[in-house]
Structure 1
Amino acid sequence: MRAGLWKGARRQAALCAVLVLAGCGGFGRPSAQECMERAMYFESNRSSRDGMIAVGHVVMNRVRSGDYPGSVCGVVAQRNQFAPGVMSRRMDPRQAGLVREAARSVLRGERHPLVGNAQFFHAASYRAGYNNMHYVVTTGGNAFYERRPPALVTRPVPPPPLEGITRR
């Protein structure tokens, strides 16, 4: 009897682990931690911790702004704002440790030293034709920017990628 219960518990734990890695959170709605991990994982190209922290900083700026949903999951799941399938695609479990740590750190208050008030980013290789984009940093494969009136834009082109940003 005991062996059967243990086997069932192991099977249930394995199922829960698969659901968490798939982004379903197991049961109910995903947590802020899971949503932040998904934004970082799918938007930073998993290229660097620095890039993940910058993405997380933008998510938190949007949560605070009043112009976007007031929760991490609300911001990340908002239609046409982040990578297609950000809330449903499968994440590679080999990246889980780094992504989990970076997400936890942002949720506890860490911010990228150069993102400031930026609420937007796009792939660093993309060149937008808008004249209201003030770029603040390029890292993790993305160019981060604030929207400003055209007369106040001082950096109309993304700055070169950063190298060597260290953890605070």
Structure 2
Amino acid sequence: MTVLMRWAAPVVLLFGLAGGVQAEMTVSQSNDPDGSIDVHMTALLGQERAALSTLTSSDVAAIATAPMKPGKSKGKAVMSYDGTWLAALPRPESSDELDCLAQALYFEARGESIKGQAAVAEVILNRVDSPSFPKTVCAVVNQGGNGGCQFSYTCDGRAEVVAEPEAWKRSAKIAGAMLDGAPRILTEGATYFHTPQVSPSWSKRFELTATIGAHLFYRAPIVTALN
């Protein structure tokens, strides 16, 4: 009985769409329930074919397509990284981590697009998540090594003076969004970047993951026992 009921519901809908085609079934009292189901199922399928032959393609598509759930949309959300996205961002609350990330974006990449600055922010936050780097934004940004600095503005001998207030506001907003969990979808896990004007030795060994604006982004090769 359960099988018949499952088939009957969509068939009733099809018959209604087909202009009132009706199916009449009587449940058999046979001692062979399987045989009874076979007989009635054959009749039911024949009537279903007749009903389907009268439907248009749009009718069939409407029946076959499941309704969307409220509040859901098809596909993945897409980050626009444009002026509209930036304007909708709230003003970030000041903190040491925000200030360090905003400074890195401002002094290293303020000439880049919103997308370009977000990509640089990804590199810094990817480093924070990596066991190969310090565990805070400020420590990553101010890290030294190999006789220099990871971010040149931190050891170029010049004072960090914000001379472009609007550019600073933009960098701070981007920094706030990235710290608040905006998806890192631009650089595929990159932890290094450089401009085309230089060619560091490590760039020949690392995997190039993205080119955004004036920066090339790289991911360090995975080290295993086999290599």
TM-score, normalised with respect to structure 1: 0.64
Show structure 2 runs of 5+ residues with no match.
1-93, 223-227
Write out the 4+ residue segments of structure 1 that deviate beyond 4 Å after TM superposition: none
Cα pair 2:142 2:154 within 8 Å, conserved: no
Q: Which has the larger radius of gyration?
A: 2
- Which of the numbers 22, 26, 44 marks the counterpart of 2:109? 44
Contact 2:190–2:218, Cα closer than 8 Å, also in 1: yes
Percent identity, aligned pairs only, is 28
The higher-RCO structure (CA 8 Å, 6+ apart) is 1
Which aligned pairs between 1:63-102 and structure 2 lie closer than 5 A? 63-79=128-144, 80-85=149-154, 88-91=159-162, 92-102=164-174
Pair 1:110–1:64, CA change in 2 (3 A): same
Aligned residue for 1:106?
178
What's the TM-score once normalised by structure 2's chain length?
Answer: 0.48
Distance 1:43 1:50 in 2: 14
Residue equivalent to 1:160: none
Within a 5 Å distance, the mapping from 1:1-168 to structure 2 comes to 31-79=96-144, 80-85=149-154, 88-91=159-162, 92-130=164-202, 131-148=204-221
RMSD: 2.4
Identify unmatched segments of 5+ residues in structure 1: 1-24, 150-168
Q: How far has the Cα of 1:89 moved from its partner?
A: 1.1
Alpha-carbon deviation of 1:38? 0.8
**How many pairs does the alignment contain?**
122
